[in-house]
Amino acid sequence: MREESSGRLCGHERTDKIWENGWVCNRYRLTHSKQYLAERFQASDEIEERPRYNIAPTQPVVTVRKEHGRKTRKFTTMRWGLIPSWAKDTTIATRTLNARSEIVTTTPAFRQSILTKRCLIPADGFYEWQKMGSVKQPYCFEVSEGDVFAFAGLWDQWKSPDGQIIESCTILTTTPNSLVADLHDRMPVIVPPDKYDANLMRRYPVSRKLNNSRIDDAESGSPVILDMPAQSKLF
């Protein structure tokens, strides 16, 4: 995984490994209905009613956060790729899709958000890739049989020079469990409503159509059967 080197950004001091640039969890899925999500997260507000099988960086994503000064939760659609309030422009967002949880409190792009702007990012699957010769094979990771879960997220609000307000988010990452470890050295932080057990997760190969971020249909996230030589490398 490639990491950003130390230096300065927009006048802010940077440390090594500020963000994931490999990336871990740069595609995921959310296909449950908004009614189900509202019941599951006890949240309100309008969100788009359509299944998403191939959610990609910089696209709009559903988040859950507490309403300011209240205990109630609300859904908010944000751009994936956090733009800190102090950023000069939006270009930083392609490098802030993920945030390393171990150093998030000292990372300039995230250290304010971890204190005051935490959120949940609902999903029912995420994808990682394995290199197989000249091709990249995507795998889907689920909790139980495709149940809804939540990534730990952070968000921020940025105002453009012409006054446009953009709310954006990032997904926190951590060391991988045994199911993910042979494909990546990081995985998203999953927030347990009642403690998800890693053993309840499953993974399976999915269509290589998923490699194209412009394809967002049911077939792109469907299970596929690999030939035996490729399969034998996994187990």
**Of 22-31, 206-215, 221-230, which gets the smallest average pLDDT?**
221-230
DSSP string for residues in 42-79: TEES----S-EEEE-TTSEEEEEEEPTTSS-EEEEEEE
Q: How confident is the model at residue 201 (pLDDT cuts 50, 70, 90)?
A: low
pLDDT at position 202 = 64
Q: Is pLDDT larger for residue 62 or for residue 145?
A: 62
Q: In this structure, is the dihedral angle defined by the CA atoms of residues 173, 92, 135 and 219, taken in order, positive or negative?
A: positive
Q: 116 pLDDT exceeds 70?
A: yes
For residues 1 and 97, give the distance between their C-alpha atoms in angstroms, rounded to a whole number.
14
User: Does residue 230 sit within a domain?
Assistant: no
- List C-alpha distances in Å: 181 to 127, 130, 169, 203: 13, 11, 25, 12
DSSP three-state, residue 11? coil
First to last CA, the chain: 23
**What is the tally of structural domains in the chain?**
1
Q: 76 pLDDT exceeds 90?
A: yes
H-run or E-run covering 34: helix 34-41
Instruction: Point out the residues that are catalytic.
Output: 25, 128
Give the domain range for residue 64. Answer: 7-124+147-194
User: Does residue 223 sit within a domain?
Assistant: no
Task: Please compute, for residue 70, the number of CA atoms within 13 A of its CA located in the half-sphere on the CB side.
Answer: 9
User: Does residue 32 sit within a domain?
Assistant: yes
Cis status of the peptide bond prior to 23, with omega within 30 of 0: yes
Average pLDDT over every residue of 160-172? 95
Q: 2 pLDDT exceeds 50?
A: no
DSSP three-state, residue 107? coil
Supply the CATH number for residue 23's domain: 3.90.1680.10
Average pLDDT over every residue of 134-146? 92
pLDDT at position 19 = 43
Average pLDDT over every residue of 218-231? 74
Q: Could you read off the pLDDT of 39-66 as tens digits, one per residue?
A: 988 888 888 889 999 999 999 999 998 8
pLDDT at position 150 = 94
User: Does residue 40 sit within a domain?
Assistant: yes
- What's the mean pLDDT when you consider all of the chain? 82
User: Residue 194 class from Cβ within 10 Å (0-12 exposed, 13-18 middle, 19+ buried)?
Assistant: exposed
What are the structure tokens assigned to 190, written together?
């999953």
User: Does residue 45 sit within a domain?
Assistant: yes
User: Does residue 95 sit within a domain?
Assistant: yes
pLDDT at position 97 = 96
Q: How confident is the model at residue 171 (pLDDT cuts 50, 70, 90)?
A: very high
Q: Could you read off the pLDDT of 173-199 as tens digits, one per residue?
A: 999 999 999 999 999 999 877 532 333
pLDDT at position 69 = 66
User: Does residue 30 sit within a domain?
Assistant: yes
User: Does residue 64 sit within a domain?
Assistant: yes
- Number of H-type helices and E-type strands within the chain: 3, 16
**Where is mean pLDDT largest: 37-46, 100-109, 226-235?**
100-109
